Amino acid sequence: MFEYLEPDASGASNLPPSSRSTPQARPERVRHMLYGSLAAIDRTIKILHALGYTDPNDWSDPIPMPSSAPVGDTARSLRLRSATGVEMPASHRT
């Protein structure tokens, strides 16, 4: 399903062969969400564009989120739930 690729000694990761060489009839879509300051989001979009991953115009306009929204806790909670099948109480999370 997913193969994790360890970076080599220089810190560069060994990327799998490009899927562009083997075109698919219907490529699978993946949705990415970026959370952070507008500057960090803009920088990330520019990096992804420089890497040839996506066009900056493909992104939607930023949507404001309340600063109290526990984005990091939610992501950690989902990761724990998917790995173990049950969500650990907040007091047991690291």
Distance CA 22, CA 18 (A): 8
| Mean pLDDT, rounded, of the chain | 69
- pLDDT tens for residues 36-73? 889 999 999 999 999 998 899 989 998 887 776 555 55
Q: How much of the chain exceeds pLDDT 70, in percent?
A: 46
**Of the candidates 4, 63, 2, the residue with the CA atom closest to the CA atom of residue 30:** 2
**Of the candidates 67, 68, 74, 62, the residue with the CA atom closest to the CA atom of residue 34:** 62
Whether 29 shows a pLDDT value over 70: the answer reads yes
Residue at 23: amino acid letter: P
Rounded to two decimals, what is the model's pTM? 0.46
Which residue ranges make up each domain of the chain? Answer: 27-85
**In which element (H, E) is residue 18 found?**
none
